[in-house]
Amino acid sequence: MTPYSNEYTLKNGRKLIVRQPVAADAEGLIALIQRVDTESRFLGREPGEFDFTPDGERELIEGMLTAERERWFVAEYEGEIVGQCSVAIRNRRYRFAHRAVLGIMVRADCWGLGIGGRLMREAIAWCRGKGLEQLELEVVDGNERAIAMYESFGFVKTGAHPRGIRYADGTYADELFMVLRL
C-alpha cells in the first residue's frame, strides 16, 4: 500500500507536504513530540512523559498504515516533521461507531502558517470519506489559538471537565469538549 501524500502552498509561499508517516519517520516524530512537549502546556502530558523508543514508534507507524479505523497525518515542512494529527473512530460498537476523536499538534515556530488548518482539513475529509457523523476533540481551556481554529471549522463547545488537567506545578486547567457535526 502506498501511503497517502499531498502537497500544499502555505501562507508564506513555501511548500507543505501532508502525508501518512512511514517507519523512517520514527525519529522525526519522537523529536517533534519531545519538542512540542516543552513548548506548550496544552498537551496531555508533562515534558519527559513521552517514552516511545524508535522501535516502538516504528511499530506504531506500521500498524497505523494498515488500520481501517484510524488515520495519522504528518506535516513535513522544509524537510522536517513539524506537526501531526491523528483521528480514530471511537468504538467498534454500532452506537458509537459514528464518532471519531482527533488529536493535533504543531511546533510553535510554525504556528500561524496554516499547518494546523491543513492537518484539520485532511482529518475532516478522512472522516467524511468514512461516512462518520461526528468529530470530537478535547482542548485545554485557555488554548485560545487552538479553540479559534477549531471554531473556524465549525466545532462547538459541548462541555468540560473542571480541573481536568493537573500540572506538575500544582495548578489545574479545565478540559473542554468540542464537537463538529460532519
Domains in the chain, CATH or no CATH each:
5-181 (3.40.630.30)
Return the pLDDT at 2: 58
pLDDT at 51 over 80: no
Query: Sheet harboring 134-140: ordered strands across?
Result: 5-9, 15-19, 70-77, 80-89, 99-106, 134-140, 172-181, 156-166
pLDDT at 95 over 70: yes
Return the pLDDT at 160: 98
Section 69-95 average pLDDT? 95
pLDDT band at 4 (very low <50, low <70, confident <90, very high): confident
Query: What value does the mean pLDDT of the chain take?
Result: 93
pLDDT at 73 over 80: yes
Section 112-133 average pLDDT? 97
Task: Name the residue with cell 506504531.
Answer: 60
Return the pLDDT at 44: 81
Return the pLDDT at 163: 97
Strand residue runs (E) in the chain: 5-9, 15-19, 70-77, 80-89, 99-106, 134-140, 156-166, 172-181
> Letter for the amino acid at 74?
V
Return the pLDDT at 45: 81
pTM of the predicted model as reported, rounded to 2 decimal places: 0.92
